[in-house]
Amino acid sequence: MIKMLSGNEAVARGMWEAGVAVASAYPGTPSTEILENYALFPNVYAEWAPNEKVAMDVAIGAAYAGRRGMAVMKHVGLNVAADSFMYASMTGTEAGLVIVSADDPAMHSSQNEQDNRTFARFGRIPCLEPSDSQEAKDMVLAAFELSEHFDTPVLLRLTTRICHSASAVMLGERVEIDPSPKPFPRNPAKYVMVPGNAVKRHPVIEQRIRQIAAFAETYPFNRIEPGDRSLGILTCGVAYQYAREIFPEASILRLGMTWPLPEAMIRNFARTVDRLIVIEELDPFIEEAVRLMGISVEGKSIFPITGEFDPRLVRESAIAAGLLPGTAHIPLPEVEVGPLPGRPPVLCPGCPHRPTFYILNKLKVPVNGDIGCYTLGLIPPLSAIHTCGCMGAGIGVAHGAAQAGSPERHVAVIGDSTFFHSGIPPLINAVYNKSPIVTIILDNRVTGMTGHQENPGTGRTLLGKEAPIVELEPLVRACGITHVLTVPAYDVKAIEKALKEFIKLDEPSVLIAVEPCALLPEVRKRWVPLEVLADQCNGCTLCFRIGCPAILKSDELDEKTSRPKALIDATMCTGCEVCAEICPRDAIPFRPAKVEVP
């Protein structure tokens, strides 16, 4: 049966066909839909872990226990999980262990565009890279076979363009796997990495990667497509598709395994062509390895080291390097369209994070942010995030700035899911090493940015089962914080009062602003749009300063001020009443009463 599948859907299908016993992940674009789709198959176990390191250890545990384990994450998630990735390489496992890293060239939704093939080389772990959805599925099965044959974890590296592209996939059968539990191994020489054991394992994994390199010479996913001998192209991943499209005549060596590389195959290929180039996105990973073999090769001198490729970029770069004639150039229309208003992502109408950022902007304090929807508090007119580097960074950065004598009170802002991910150790640090920082946990009862995933605070698991709720306030108190307050996130006055008090303290404090995300299905049922009373609005513009996309400028101008009055778009307004709270002229009436959900 042939089905149109995205790369992520194809990986999920491959996991099912491969009989994965335990799959664990933390959501992160572009990888999120892998586990969401896998969880839809019958009789599977898949879970959201609080962070990627936990997900990695969970998958390793399953593979130690003799069942196939898989950990799935975005590229920067592998930084979080790196410690575990490295020991798993040292120990190997009893059953297959596959790690998916979904890299994000062009940073569609990430803080960097690191190339995680380097992790494979670093960890002496083989790396497979699919070029379309069919291979994304097939390589999951191949990765498990490789893992079990060589007793090694395998990295399956995807990129956004593979994850979020759809192409036809021929579905396969599910591998028959013995479902009975296996006895847990008692093999400390292999699984207890104290120095005495680890020194014996290191030569083993160096030998292993050499054996895999030999195996790679005849691996079917590495294939030569012979063509015109004047140009030879080494390529991998989605870049292979662009190479095929732009150079239909050239000889191509498509590498499906990008670490370790098949040296003899590359040497033989290089010998048959006049000019050898590498077309690969991001780092010159293949290029440098080939150059180290003493083979003359070009790559990043022709194609960029930053961003994503596309057919146009490959063609134009090739023309500039003399690989294609100037007549291959396709001109752009260059119709004058003038400056167009940008459409950056913004906090949605009714977003419960908005009041907190409105107050932070008003208090003019330095704010150390974190990763999530609330990072959008950066955007004008709220303009209330001053640093944001990675998951869980904000609290530690605020503490460090405070210890460095930063003259203002620092506020760290973190979401509920991010707090569970990596906010707890830095909060304990702020207590232990005592700094007067204020931490705000923006608790919208869901993992928001990646599209509403469950987390330890929501009371449900990925498989839809009920789960205990990890309550934030007792957790924060248990970390040693004594100044803790939970307030409704739409209550502008309560947030302002609490923050003004906390900022005066000489000890760390935590404000929890709680309200479910306005886009959650059960919350949508409560939406009731508000209206502006045009007679009472004098165009003071205060409500524009909360940056709500539902509040528009009316065509009607106020007679005295000549400024446009406010107008609420009823199709967008959720009735969160934040604008009603701050309107000084009561021109936006509150809803008459709480609306009962039918």
**Closest separation between CB of residue 314 and another protein, Å?**
8
- The residue within the footprint of another protein, chosen from 310, 408, 471, 531 (CB under 8 A), is 310
- The residue within the footprint of another protein, chosen from 390, 544, 558, 591 (CB under 8 A), is 544
| DSSP-derived pairing of the beta strands 275-279 and 257-259 | unpaired
Q: Spell out where 448-563 has E strands.
A: 483-488, 509-514, 551-557
Q: What is the CA radius of gyration of the chain?
A: 27
**Closest separation between CB of residue 162 and another protein, Å?**
9
Residue 138, CA atoms < 13 Å, CB-side half-sphere: 14
Question: Sheet holding 438-443: strands in order across?
Answer: 367-368, 411-415, 438-443, 509-514, 483-488
**Closest separation between CB of residue 101 and another protein, Å?**
17
**Closest separation between CB of residue 91 and another protein, Å?**
35
Task: Provide the 10 A C-beta neighbour count for residue 147.
Answer: 24
From CA 103, how far away is CA 158, in angstroms rounded? 6
Residues 7-46 that bind another protein (CB under 8 A): 29-30
Stretch that binds another protein, among 34-42, 142-150, 362-370, 548-556 (CB under 8 A): 548-556
DSSP-assigned letters across all residues of 327-373: GG------------------PPTT-TTHHHHHHHHHHT--EE--SSG
**Closest separation between CB of residue 520 and another protein, Å?**
12
**Closest separation between CB of residue 551 and another protein, Å?**
7
**Closest separation between CB of residue 347 and another protein, Å?**
7
- The residue within the footprint of another protein, chosen from 434, 553, 563, 591 (CB under 8 A), is 553
232 in Cβ contact with 299 (< 8 Å): no
Question: Sheet holding 69-74: strands in order across?
Answer: 46-48, 22-25, 69-74, 97-103, 154-159, 127-128, 257-259
- The residue within the footprint of another protein, chosen from 25, 39, 519, 587 (CB under 8 A), is 519
Task: Provide the 10 A C-beta neighbour count for residue 8.
Answer: 28
415 in Cβ contact with 374 (< 8 Å): yes
- The residue within the footprint of another protein, chosen from 311, 389, 529, 589 (CB under 8 A), is 311
Quote the distance between the C-alpha of residue 310 and its chain's center: 22
- The residue within the footprint of another protein, chosen from 227, 529, 549, 589 (CB under 8 A), is 549
Nearest CA-CA partner of 121 in 284, 265, 231: 284
**Closest separation between CB of residue 369 and another protein, Å?**
15
> In sequence order, which residues have a C-beta less than 8 Å from that of residue 461 and are 6 or more positions away?
47, 48, 454, 467
CA separation (Å) from 448 to 417, 451, 469? 8, 5, 17
62 binds another protein (CB under 8 A): no
- The residue within the footprint of another protein, chosen from 59, 371, 442, 551 (CB under 8 A), is 551
- The residue within the footprint of another protein, chosen from 181, 322, 380, 488 (CB under 8 A), is 380
242 binds another protein (CB under 8 A): yes
Residues 329-348 that bind another protein (CB under 8 A): 330-348
Q: Which residues of 154-170 are buried (b: 16+ CB within 10 A; e: fewer)?
A: bbbbbbbbbbbbebebe
Which x/- pattern over 129-158 shows residues binding another protein (rule: CB under 8 A)?
Answer: ---x--------------------------
Stretch that binds another protein, among 57-65, 391-399, 438-446, 543-551 (CB under 8 A): 543-551
- Closer residue to another protein (CB): 373 or 438: 373
Stretch that binds another protein, among 89-97, 198-206, 376-384, 495-503 (CB under 8 A): 376-384
**Count of residues of this chain found to bind another protein when the rule CB under 8 A is applied:** 57
166 binds another protein (CB under 8 A): yes
425 binds another protein (CB under 8 A): no
**Closest separation between CB of residue 25 and another protein, Å?**
17
**Closest separation between CB of residue 596 and another protein, Å?**
25
DSSP summary character for residue 413 = E
Helix (H) or strand (E) holding 569: none
**Closest separation between CB of residue 30 and another protein, Å?**
7
> In sequence order, which residues have a C-beta less than 8 Å from that of residue 128 and are 6 or more positions away?
139, 142, 143, 146, 154, 155, 156, 157, 221, 256, 257, 258
582 in Cβ contact with 541 (< 8 Å): no
**Closest separation between CB of residue 67 and another protein, Å?**
33
Stretch that binds another protein, among 242-250, 353-361, 477-485, 505-513 (CB under 8 A): 242-250
- Closer residue to another protein (CB): 146 or 234: 234
Which x/- pattern over 87-126 shows residues binding another protein (rule: CB under 8 A)?
Answer: ---------------------xx-----------------
- Residues binding another protein (CB under 8 A): 2, 4, 29-30, 108-109, 132, 160-161, 164-168, 238, 241-242, 244-245, 310-313, 315, 330-348, 373, 376, 379-381, 449, 451, 519, 544, 547, 549, 551-553
